[in-house]
Structure 1
Amino acid sequence: MPKPRVVFFDVGNTLLFPNRARILAPLPEQHHPTLDQWQNLERRTKREFDKLLLEGQVDHGFWWIFYGYLLEEASMSDDNLRSTLVKNTQNSGNWDQIRHGTRESLDRISRDYCISVISNSDGRIVEVLGGCKIADCFQSVTDSGIVGYEKPHPAIFEAALRTMQAHPEESVYVGDVYSVDYLGARNIGMRAVLFDVAGAYRDHGFPRVESLEALEIWLKG
């Protein structure tokens, strides 16, 4: 296959991470998970969500499942609270945590590739990226809240490819959920790599990295 010309990035859990304190504010503080506990919930949710999505059985979204597990572990059953936590998480403004060195890695990657964003968001992801001082790294941003389709629907990937005048076979997608990001990209002919900070896919044999620095090495390989 030809060397990639364009690298498309997911945002959530790839470039930016949740402001857990703000999102979890409605939950009594004694039930706030540690980072390790949060990532364990993420691994558990990804296994369940991927299985359901691949079987065509998903009735609720990823975060509804996630907070179901969290509240279950806290011995709480409150669908109103669960809905509030989901809503907080789906607010793009609550994804403002950026890992050290992100800007520098993106600058290095952009020397060799055109870079762009494809995100399931609420129409405001450009604003959030700008607030985190990385919006100007990208040649285009495709936001499901504007396009009207969410990953893994092929239409959002196709819209992003059009903005970059790119073909699938010369493009790579980097995202964190197998059934949404990896398969969504692969199904239209793009290459894909999982950005797997939580280690949900560590033993699955899929292409994966846990940092942007590791992605830089993977792209060169």
Structure 2
Amino acid sequence: MKNVLKLLTFDVNNTIIKVRHSVGHHYSKTASAFGVEADPAKVQSAFLEAYREQKSTQPNYGDGLDTTTERWWTDIVKKTFILQGHSNIETLEQIGAKLYQDFLEPSYWDVFPDVKNVLSYLNKQGMCVGVISNFDERLIQVLKNLELAHHFSFIIPSIFAKYQKPQPQIFQKALDLMKVAPNECLHIGDSVKNDYYAAQDIGMNALIIDRDGTLQRNHPDINRMHFINNLEDLKQFVDSS
């Protein structure tokens, strides 16, 4: 990076953590405890359909609407199982409420193996590190439960920011909070649209975490030097800054 970096910001899901197994796995396992049997793979497919619909009609977890994030997610759970032919709404409400709490638990998440070492390195180097994520208010507790929160100077979930990536306002909140210029910040995430281009559009440096090489193959137009397959690669940018 040509400019001296003063701030590194990270996306969360599929950048530093990921859902363990799959959402469909957890949904079907919890549903089974309530007497609702469903195939995890089919539940995963139905979940993705319900999730896309919910994001489209009620963006940013229903922020600004007369609802709560728990209600938002419970409605997704209901839609997921209704798509699978289940119709006992009371039971589906109970499943949704249980899952909303359970996704706070560390056992529902995996931390990528490179994350803690790299965050510790950045902290030791005196680098300011933060989080910008399209996530609900549980994010802070999830990161605390995974013993990651203490590495960050700030954590900005979109539900609190009132904006979602790729909207520039959520990035601007981080810049204003730390009083840094956009070109003094490097953002790292796994979404070409929400992380890479969105950060660049506001003047920030940006890298794409691409652990299996899929994104680089699908986006040959992007400078290959802007892809990293491991967060360990960040050390060279910090050292060179």
- TM-score (ref. length: structure 1): 0.69
Distance 1:83 1:218 in 2: 48
Deviations 1:112-164 (A, max 9, x none): 32111101001221111101101000011111011110000001000111121
**Aligned-residue offset at 1:23:** 4.1
Does 2:172 match 1:161? no
Equivalent pairs: percent with the same residue? 24
Indicate the SS of the match to 1:214. helix
1:199, distance to aligned residue in structure 2 (A):
2.3
Q: Are the aligned partners of 1:92 and 1:121 in contact in 2 as well (CA < 8 Å)?
A: no
Conserved 8 A contact 1:92-1:122: no
Unmatched runs of 5 consecutive residues or more in structure 1: 34-48, 50-57, 62-78
Cα distance change on mapping 1:103 and 1:156 into 2, 3 Å: same
1:92·1:125 contact (CA, 8 Å) conserved in 2?
Answer: no
- Give the TM-score taking structure 2 as reference length: 0.64
Matching residue of 1:81? 80
Separation in structure 2 between the aligned mates of residue 137 and residue 166 of structure 1, nearest angstrom:
19
* C-alpha distance in 1 between matches for 2:3 and 2:123: 18
- State how 1:80-119 maps to structure 2 within 5 Å: 80-81=79-80, 93=104, 96-112=109-125, 113-119=127-133
Aligned to 2:64: none
Q: Which has the higher helix share?
A: 2
Q: Which has the larger radius of gyration?
A: 2
Matched, 1:171 2:185: yes
Judged with a 3 Å threshold, the aligned counterparts in structure 2 of structure 1 residues 82 and 8 are, in CA distance, closer, same or farther, namely farther
Alpha-carbon displacement from aligned partner over 1:96-123 (angstroms, at most 9, x marks no partner): 2112242121010223321111010012
Q: Measure, in 1, the Cα distance between the counterparts of 2:83 and 2:130.
A: 31
TM-superposed CA distance for 1:3, in Å, is 1.8
Question: Residue 213 of structure 1: CA displacement?
Answer: 1.1
Q: Write out the 4+ residue segments of structure 1 that deviate beyond 6 Å after TM superposition.
A: 82-85
Which structure 2 residue ranges, 5 or more long, are not aligned? 29-37, 45-51, 59-77, 85-95
- In the alignment, the residues of structure 1 paired with residue 230 and residue 5 of structure 2 have an alpha-carbon distance, to the nearest angstrom, of 19
Following the alignment from structure 2 to structure 1, what is the Cα–Cα distance between the partners of residues 239 and 230? 15
Q: Does the 8 Å CA contact 1:169/1:189 hold for their aligned counterparts?
A: yes
Report if aligned partners of 2:133, 2:158 keep a CA contact under 8 Å in 1: yes
Aligned residues: 181
Give the RMSD, CA atoms, in angstroms: 3.4
